[in-house]
Structure 1
């Protein structure tokens, strides 16, 4: 990997964490300093910072072990795969009911990150592959997740009223218009994309919530505009039901 923008302090912190993970509750500051070739002053600063961040814990014997914060991060890492597995199982049934492709995504600031999809054969294949990102304001998925944020959080993500990036002539253009749509999505429990992301396609999405009621992802169904009026109510009903099942699974699993 190119190290043009490398941050040496992060690399050192990573090395410290790896060594502690290999030998939990066995290494003191001086041991870590010697084994990693980091002077004691720098090591003290690293460990003090990581202890404050709950990345590490200093034991009574002055040895170190991994902290609770890393446990939370690691747990979140594996939860996303658990959600994807559950999505594939549940959405595999729903896609045959609607006869359309179902997608799963999470919010990454002002973008939607696609995690998985259950695809139905179609003449035109949706470009929403796992790992792909789109502006949140142009997608039903994004609006379903943005609707869970409060006014302060939304203003932090969209600090200006200036025109938002446009992908089609139907794209929401201002923060005010976005907030109006989010208020509707928040009230009804689902969101629409009416040719806002891709011309000729409409979409409905609903949020997936964890055991604490927090929106952690969203699912959607996209289809050609000419099929939208025929399938709109069915898609809306099935997507909301699927989101509810995934949310219930998350509650039962304690996610």
Structure 2
């Protein structure tokens, strides 16, 4: 690694200050927070403003906010991201931690499509594949994604008279029961599916968000019932949340879900 350029480091430090608070700062605030000389800060702010990284706030003289250039760079970065590829990388890390099968899935209408999968090394494991489509209401990833929809959109996709297919005797087939379960998912921020898509498997799932905060996918951990317990559920819920948060961060999301 080459030598860091102090002026560039300071300029980036200034830009990163705008990630917190209300998104506006004055030069004195920057001086105080970074403990830099006032002249240096004035020169750096003037340079960043000239290059459209910062712009003055019209209604607040002496204050600045981020300009269009950081947005353009962020948009270009987002365009280069491949949810499936990044999801596969994060799923592998999660699977190496728990040695269970990990999926990343997206919602399409009322179905989920698995876009990434990493298997457990155990002899007894979930049999599935990336690209497989399943009814959303029968899976933990599907419940997580349905629960993230606005109420009117959920009602359009799953109306009161919807006929929900059963994959196992444990599948939820009543729309009202499903909505009650989704309300609990929203409250807890985690989804659970117990033998609803496979009679021998339980799963937990957490939401994956993009840079705008929108839920775009869900990450799940699937466990055969022979290795399932309440203690294991709690452990895997925490790991699913951590993995989903890592994937969200790599998609550009910042802050709490």
TM-score range relative to shorter protein: 0.5 to 0.7
* Corresponding residue of 1:191: 191
Q: CA 1:159 to 1:80, structure 2 compared with 1: closer, same or farther past 3 Å? A: farther
CA distance in 2, matches of 1:183, 1:117: 27
Deviation at 1:83, TM superposition (A): 2.0
Q: Runs of 4+ in structure 1 displaced over 6 angstroms?
A: none
* Count of equivalent residues: 178
Q: Is the 8 A contact 2:100 2:120 kept in 1?
A: yes
CA distance in 1, matches of 2:211, 2:155: 26
CA distance in 2, matches of 1:79, 1:190: 28
Q: Is the 8 A contact 2:210 2:253 kept in 1?
A: no
Q: CA 1:252 to 1:172, structure 2 compared with 1: closer, same or farther past 3 Å? A: closer
Deviation at 1:80, TM superposition (A): 9.3
Q: CA 1:143 to 1:239, structure 2 compared with 1: closer, same or farther past 3 Å? A: same
TM-score by length of structure 1 reads 0.65
- Root-mean-square deviation over aligned CA pairs: 2.2
* Corresponding residue of 1:172: 172
The aligned runs of 1:217-232 (5 Å cut-off) are 217-229=217-229, 230-232=231-233
Deviation at 1:122, TM superposition (A): 2.9
Q: State the Cα deviation string for residues 90-126 of structure 1 (Å, max 9, x = none).
A: 2222212211011011001100001011112232453
* Corresponding residue of 1:134: 134
CA distance in 1, matches of 2:240, 2:104: 11
The aligned runs of 1:142-181 (5 Å cut-off) are 142-181=142-181
- Which residues of structure 2 form unaligned runs of 5+? 1-74
SS class of match (1:251): coil
